[in-house]
Amino acid sequence: MRDFLRRLEQDDLTVVLLLTGIVLASSFFADPGARAVVPWGLVLILIACGSLYWRRRFPVTVLAVASSTAMLYYVNAFPDGLVILPAMLALVSVVVRGMRWQAWAFGLGFYSAFHGIEVFFLDQPFAAHALGNLSWVLLFLISGEVVRKQNEATDARKEQAAEAQRVHEEALRRSASDERLRLAREVHDVVAHNISLINVQAGTALYLIDAEPGRAREALSTIKSTSRDTLKELRATLGVLRAVDEEAPRAPTPDLADLPELLERSRTSGIAIGFDTEGDTSVLPANVRAAAYRIVQESVTNAVRHSRAGRIDVRVAFDGDDLTVGVSDDGRGAPQGFAAGNGIRGMRERAAALGGALDAGPGDGGGFRVHARLPRSVPYAAGGRDAAAADGSEQRRNLG
């Protein structure tokens, strides 16, 4: 019954033609001794069946028309065919379209009226067809409820699929945005630090080239090695953008083990740099070590470029749970109206992606300080995919 009703919902014209044939056949051959169907009985049959063509647009109106014509047909003693069937199908349509209370009220009211016609106009015994007629009405009402529930379930599945697709597309957009942000941080960290050193050394070489050519030569040598290292790191960073079938550089990502080399290069700028470490940082995840390296790199770069400091102190401590990174200088501190630039924002994003936090601002005794806390275990909710690839270290370690 459910499949039959579902198919009927697909094609209005087929419903009308099929139903007209069934009702006509049942009426012509039901009772040869009854009043002739033609012409008025035929008109009522055609109206009742034809009205179903508009059952989608005007379900309640069609139900009223089909029910009224069925009553008129039986009141006028035409052959007892299936003229009631169009009214029952119209009843199903009303239920399917969500007008449940109207359908049940109309259906039971129609049953009462129809049964009253049989008793008072057709001289039928009161109980002769009472149960049978009620059963037919309830059958079609319940069938309509079943089809309605199935339609609602189908619509819900479609809506869930559409919502899942929207969520998936949003996740892809967010992932792409996170990846672009990560790459922007990488390029900034790689280029800004080394270019700052190159700028300082170039100024030194230019100043000493006549008076102290030996020291100028050392500065130029530092520029050469720093620029070479910059190109290596930049190629490794941009390698993640290469096509799959292209071979990318296999340069490892710098991490805490590379801090001494980083600070030694930075000392060539003429600033004294102290370094203190505590705890075994080798047990930390690779992305935490790499993020800590980038935070120190950016902090030292900013101090070299902006602070006019004579000394920078770097401290890295791991207590078994959290990694603490501190960088402070004795320079001029933050200017009035200080606002964080791209570098500090990038450091904060790195720390947040790992479930940590970073604070940057004027030091208590002057100068500028950066303090970061990075947990050993990265909470998934803290950074999602970005936390898993906070520095892209694993991608580039295995790239190519």
Where in the chain are the domains? 2-128, 177-397
Q: Which range among 179-193, 256-270, 345-359 shows the weakest confidence by mean pLDDT? A: 179-193
Mean pLDDT of 156-177: 85
Q: List the one residue out of 285, 317, 281, 251 whose CA is nearest residue 390.
A: 285
Q: How far apart are CA 59 and CA 67, in angstroms?
A: 12
Q: List the one residue out of 310, 317, 311, 332 whose CA is nearest residue 371.
A: 317
Name the DSSP class of 43.
Answer: H
Mean pLDDT of 118-143: 68
Position 214 pLDDT exceeds 80: yes
Q: How far apart are CA 313 and CA 305, in angstroms?
A: 15
Q: What is the pLDDT of residue 399?
A: 31
Higher pLDDT, 311 or 178: 311
Q: Which range among 200-209, 283-292, 306-315, 381-390 shows the weakest confidence by mean pLDDT? A: 381-390
Q: Quickly count: other Cβ atoms within 10 Å of residue 149's Cβ.
A: 12
- List pLDDT tens digits, range 351-371: 998 899 999 988 888 899 999
CA neighbours closer than 13 Å in the CB half-sphere of residue 296:
34
Mean pLDDT taken over the chain: 77
- List pLDDT tens digits, range 293-303: 999 998 998 88
Beginning with the edge strand found earlier in the chain, give each strand of the sheet holding 322-329 in spatial order: 272-278, 311-318, 322-329, 368-375, 357-362
- Quick one: fold of 177-397? Heat Shock Protein 90 (3.30.565)
Q: What is the pLDDT of residue 390?
A: 43
Question: Please, which pLDDT band fits residue 327 given cuts at 50, 70 and 90?
Answer: very high
Q: Does residue 362 have a cis peptide bond before it, meaning omega lies within 30 degrees of 0?
A: no
Q: What is the pLDDT of residue 108?
A: 75
Mean pLDDT of 373-379: 81
Does residue 156 sit in helix, strand or coil? helix
